Structure 1
Amino acid sequence: MSMHDDFYAGIYWSSRKESVEECARRAELFFRLLSQCDPTYARWFEQANSRKKALQLQFEPTFGTLLRFFKSKKYNEGSFGVSFSAWTGHEQDGHGSSVMLSCGCAVTPPPNSCLIYLPDKGPGAERVLTVPVLTEMIRALVLAWEPDDGGIISRGYQERRDQPVGPPQMGWLMYFSHRRGALPPLPAPVRVEPIADKGTLVILTPERFNGHDLAHVALADQVRGLLDEAGVLKDLT
């Protein structure tokens, strides 16, 4: 029987100085598109020092509210841009989700990223951890933030490597912007599809990927080798 694997969604982009207004516009689009992926993402709370306090901080992720947040000393880090996190309010461990966002930064190396920690228990996990929902999640991330790369990252696969595999990291689903060049032909059962005019989504397996499954690991290693040979994994900075 395979060991359990868990996942997070992560996208990353290089130095891109943006105003708090632009960051808030992108964030509003992101939260709106994410809410359409699954009911897990229907409500949001600011993070706090305790669960009780955080549950008092529910907010609607509108442009105006996000702009107010991003201008505040709590979230605005000056030349380092905006750093913001939010939580879905699910009190049972593993049933909810959270977002960590860093944007608007032009320093090098840039911390610009958007991470979604995915549910790994309960009905939410059963719904979310499927190719159709995760595809829409990556689409939401890409359309809002226009990253260089990212994906649905398998912790199990990362832990099997002596050194962290990345960037970009290998995952169940992976995204590569057109800045990274053309993708090579990839072996079955890998599927490739465009995301608007932004870049390409690579789906390693139609079933749930498992970084402890030797066949899945071999496929991920093979795909990584092909992408590396094609120059898709080169450093963009």
Structure 2
Amino acid sequence: MTTLADSGTYPETYYAGAYWGPRRESPEECAQRAAAFFNLLAACDPLLANWNKIPKPRGKGRKTPLMPPDLPTLTEAFRRGVNREPGGPAFEQLGLTVSAYNDGPPNEIVFVNMTCGSYAQTNSANVCVLSIPSKGESAERMLTASMLTDVTRSMALAWESDWAVAMSHAHRDLQDAEGEADIWLGWVTYLSRDRGTVPPLPAPVRIEPVEDRGTLIILTPERFTVANPEHVALARRVRELLAQAGLMRTAGEGPRG
């Protein structure tokens, strides 16, 4: 297994994100999804079992625990999370945003940002992004294929996302540098069944269903890193196969007509 020390002085940092298009939802509906998400995360790892709302403006206000999930508290958090200019009207079409942090040690603090209920006409109007620790015992425990598969599955189920990914920022930046792509292909990637059927993929790639909603693609059993040229080559090959099946564009292909 690749360890943090193998990545050099500045190890790759990782995150997980779920993305879905316009879906108008009320604060109550967003709260129900967030409660389901927090419960699923708590089952993944103890580090993900305790959450507090980040107040607006950040750093001010009392601590607001969000676990165990309390629907009235979460509903009020989303209601207050409407996008607006200071002192101006609410931009309801941009959705409702709630940010939270865990109760982990200082070097293992995890943040999650959730935007739900947006009906703005963009491909990723709604998003949930979770940071992953890059140092310490929690990082070694969480930066595994099995753990990030569970986290990505939790995102797909709770948010009913179009796609989701767990990957390093370096791998994301590499794909961005190679050209515009409609979605990122990560160490772990979830694709909704609405995007199409995932074709057979070369070893060591593993494919897992997520109930009847979509498919998880796990590129490598060991930690995926851009420092490994074999990992990068595998990701490019898998992206080509998925593009041929109509599930995503290859980097540099440009927007679909």
Q: TM-score, normalised by structure 1?
A: 0.90
Moved over 6 A (4+): none
Task: Name the CA distance, whole Å, in 1 between partners of 2:179 and 2:72.
Answer: 39
Which residue does 2:14 correspond to in 1? Answer: 7
Secondary structure of 1:45's partner? strand
Secondary structure of 2:134's partner? coil
Return closer, same or farther for 1:101/1:147 CA change in 2, 3 Å cut-off: same
- Checking the alignment, whether the CA contact within 8 Å between 1:204 and 1:220 is kept in structure 2 is yes
Picking from 49, 57, 82, the partner of 1:76 is 82
The one-letter amino acid of 2:64's match is: L
Secondary structure of 2:44's partner? coil
Which residue does 1:90 correspond to in 2? Answer: 104
The Cα of 1:164 is off from its aligned counterpart by: 5.9
Which residue does 2:215 correspond to in 1? Answer: 200
Task: Name the CA distance, whole Å, in 2 between partners of 1:160 and 1:70.
Answer: 34
The one-letter amino acid of 1:147's match is: S
The one-letter amino acid of 2:226's match is: G
Deviates more, 1:112-121 or 1:157-166: 157-166
- Checking the alignment, whether the CA contact within 8 Å between 1:45 and 1:55 is kept in structure 2 is no
Secondary structure of 1:36's partner? helix
Which residue does 1:167 correspond to in 2? Answer: 182
The Cα of 1:55 is off from its aligned counterpart by: 7.7
- Checking the alignment, whether the CA contact within 8 Å between 1:96 and 1:124 is kept in structure 2 is no
The one-letter amino acid of 1:80's match is: L
Secondary structure of 1:201's partner? strand
The Cα of 1:50 is off from its aligned counterpart by: 6.1
RMSD: 2.1
Structure 1 unmatched ranges of 5 or more: none
Return closer, same or farther for 1:33/1:164 CA change in 2, 3 Å cut-off: farther
Which residue does 2:194 correspond to in 1? Answer: 179
The Cα of 1:154 is off from its aligned counterpart by: 1.9
How big is each residue's C-alpha offset from its partner over 1:3-28, in whole Å with a ceiling of 9 and x where there is no partner?
42221101101111111111111111
Return closer, same or farther for 1:196/1:54 CA change in 2, 3 Å cut-off: farther
- Checking the alignment, whether the CA contact within 8 Å between 1:183 and 1:227 is kept in structure 2 is yes
Picking from 143, 150, 166, the partner of 1:129 is 143
The Cα of 1:124 is off from its aligned counterpart by: 1.0
Task: Give matches, 1:1-237, under 5 Å.
Answer: 2-3=7-8, 4-48=11-55, 53=60, 56-60=63-67, 61-72=69-80, 75-77=81-83, 78-93=92-107, 95-109=108-122, 110-161=124-175, 162-163=177-178, 166-233=181-248
- Checking the alignment, whether the CA contact within 8 Å between 2:112 and 2:129 is kept in structure 1 is yes
The Cα of 1:2 is off from its aligned counterpart by: 4.2
How big is each residue's C-alpha offset from its partner over 1:93-149, in whole Å with a ceiling of 9 and x where there is no partner?
3x1211011111111115201100111111111111112221211121111111111
The one-letter amino acid of 2:93's match is: S
Secondary structure of 2:52's partner? strand
Return closer, same or farther for 1:50/1:69 CA change in 2, 3 Å cut-off: closer
Task: Name the CA distance, whole Å, in 2 between partners of 1:130 and 1:214.
Answer: 19
Return closer, same or farther for 1:121/1:2 CA change in 2, 3 Å cut-off: closer
Structure 2 unmatched ranges of 5 or more: 1-5, 84-91, 250-254
Secondary structure of 2:242's partner? helix
Q: TM-score, normalised by structure 2?
A: 0.83
